[in-house]
Amino acid sequence: MKSIILIGYMGAGKTTVGKTLAKQLGRTFYDLDWYIEDRYHQRIPDIFREKGEEGFRKIEQRMLHETAAFENIVLACGGGTPCFFDNINYMNSCGDTLFLEASVDTIISHLKISRTPRPLLQQKSGEELRQFIGEQLQTRLPFYQQAKYTFNVDILDSFEKVNHLVNDIIQVLSAQGDGKMED
């Protein structure tokens, strides 16, 4: 049974969409960052501080290989996960990858209401934040665009719209499997 793996920039809505998708499909939901925090008994910002980005990315790769091998799950990855090592190729080999595509404005508005600390964005505000996100998004797009499917999430401003997107995802994934979803 293939995993469903959500990728995209931080704040795109991977966790929100992933939880809803998993619930509707009767699958287990994993957030890779939460999984790392649980396994290492440390928050992501603390791992970043202690081991640096390179050390964090090595841990992230190991945990990705562990979780993506699970069957019948929905996995939401961190924004940088597909951009390091062989991660995007590994994800594509393990399951159906879905890129949740969002504009810089959408990302900024989602991040403003998010309660999750974002180590790469600390001490950036206003125009600095917009420029950083825009530049990093351009750098990451070639990796994100290797996903098997792309869904625009600029309209996810209500639970109704999240549910509509999830139904679209289920339809697309069902169509690729001769009209029926594996379960």
Residues 3-19 have pLDDT tens digits of 999 999 999 999 999 99
CA pair distance 114, 180, nearest whole angstrom:
35
Q: How many residues does this entry show for the chain?
A: 183
Query: Please, which pLDDT band fits residue 94 given cuts at 50, 70 and 90?
Result: very high
Residues 100-158 have pLDDT tens digits of 999 999 998 888 777 676 766 777 777 888 999 999 999 999 999 999 999 999 987 78
For residues 163-169, give the mean pLDDT: 96
Residues 6+ apart with CB under 8 A from 48: 56, 119
Q: Burial-class residue 112 by CB neighbours within 10 Å (0-12, 13-18, 19+).
A: exposed
**pLDDT exceeds 50 at position 177:** yes
pLDDT value, residue 156: 79
**pLDDT exceeds 90 at position 89:** yes
What ranges do the domains of the chain cover?
3-176
Domain 3-176 has CATH 3.40.50.300: yes
